[in-house]
């Protein structure tokens, strides 16, 4: 890297951001560290350095940088979020959940409608944690994370579909039905949601309604063997 001794902190940060955007994380980290040598109280730069370290495969060092950012400003929602994401990767789910909750609270404090990019990231982080719980056959914990994600981003239909899947895993068929119907109200072509809706109805003894949903799936895609198999399980109407 060329000599940066004559550059201001602002210029170094701008160069660091440019390096980050072109995925040159080593160069970005070096620039951010140069800033921190002179300005150790810049919480946002500690956060950026942590992100670089995470991308370079050093999660422990990344956590240290996020901790420094939070020591300076405990209301830094993005640092809480980034710490949670790294903790998830290390398998520290409970600690990750605490930081996600804090990020939720802080972003909600800024705006009840979660308009910020942080809100978007929070929803995705909760959903990813839910995916891990679902993979580990912990449907209840997964459902709770998906519920939190939807509290931030109500219109994310893919997350709502996963929420319904977790509810099905818990045997909460009526609750799953409500979520799936919400999805289909917004996107009638969401085939996997319609398939699951048919299943939820069937498990509640509503076979004719289930048949209607699965027939709609076949109508939309005659090659859909899953819907045909479900219909076959009902026998002749």
Which domains, ranges and CATH numbers included, belong to the chain? Answer: 173-237 (1.25.40.10)
Residue with tokens 């209301």: 75
Residue 98's pLDDT is 92
**Sequence-separated (6 or more) residues with CB below 8 Å from residue 85:** 54, 96, 125, 128
Q: How many CB atoms are closer than 10 A to CB 66?
A: 29
Q: Are 187 and 161 spatial neighbours (Cβ–Cβ below 8 Å)?
A: no
Each residue's pLDDT expressed in tens, for the chain with a length of 237 residues:
445 667 777 889 889 999 998 999 999 999 999 999 988 888 889 999 999 999 999 999 999 999 998 888 787 888 999 999 999 999 999 999 999 888 877 766 444 555 567 777 888 889 889 988 888 889 999 999 999 989 888 878 888 989 999 999 999 999 999 999 999 998 888 888 899 999 999 999 999 999 999 999 999 888 878 889 989 988 764
Task: Please tell me whether the overall predicted TM-score, pTM, comes out greater than 0.75 for this model.
Answer: no
The rounded mean pLDDT for the chain is 87
Name the E strands within the chain.
Answer: none
Rounded CA-CA distance 215/42 in Å is 59
pLDDT at 107: 66
- For 146, half-sphere exposure in the C-beta direction (CA atoms, 13 angstrom radius) is 25
């Amino acid at each position: 890297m060329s000599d940066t001794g004559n550059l201001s902190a602002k210029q170094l940060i701008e160069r660091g951001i440019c390096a980050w955007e072109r995925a040159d994380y080593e160069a970005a980290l070096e620039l951010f560290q140069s800033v921190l040598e002179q300005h150790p109280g810049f919480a946002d730069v500690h956060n950026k350095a942590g992100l670089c370290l995470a991308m370079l495969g050093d999660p422990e060092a990344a956590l240290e940088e996020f901790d420094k950012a939070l020591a300076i400003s405990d209301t830094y929602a993005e640092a809480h979020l980034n710490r949670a994401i790294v903790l998830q990767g290390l398998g520290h789910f409970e600690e990750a959940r605490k930081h996600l909750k804090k990020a939720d609270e802080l972003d909600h404090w800024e705006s009840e409608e979660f308009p910020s990019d942080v809100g978007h990231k929070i929803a995705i982080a909760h959903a990813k944690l839910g995916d891990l719980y679902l993979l580990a056959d912990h449907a209840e914990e997964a459902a709770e994370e998906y519920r939190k994600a939807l509290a931030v981003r109500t219109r994310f239909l893919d997350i709502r579909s996963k929420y319904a899947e977790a509810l099905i895993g818990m045997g909460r068929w009526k609750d799953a039905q409500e979520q799936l119907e919400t999805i289909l109200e917004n996107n009638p072509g969401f085939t996997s949601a319609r398939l699951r809706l048919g299943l939820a109805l069937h498990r509640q003894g509503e076979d004719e309604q289930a048949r209607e949903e699965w027939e709609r799936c076949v109508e939309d895609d005659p090659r859909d063997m899953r819907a045909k198999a479900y219909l076959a399980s009902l026998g002749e109407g």
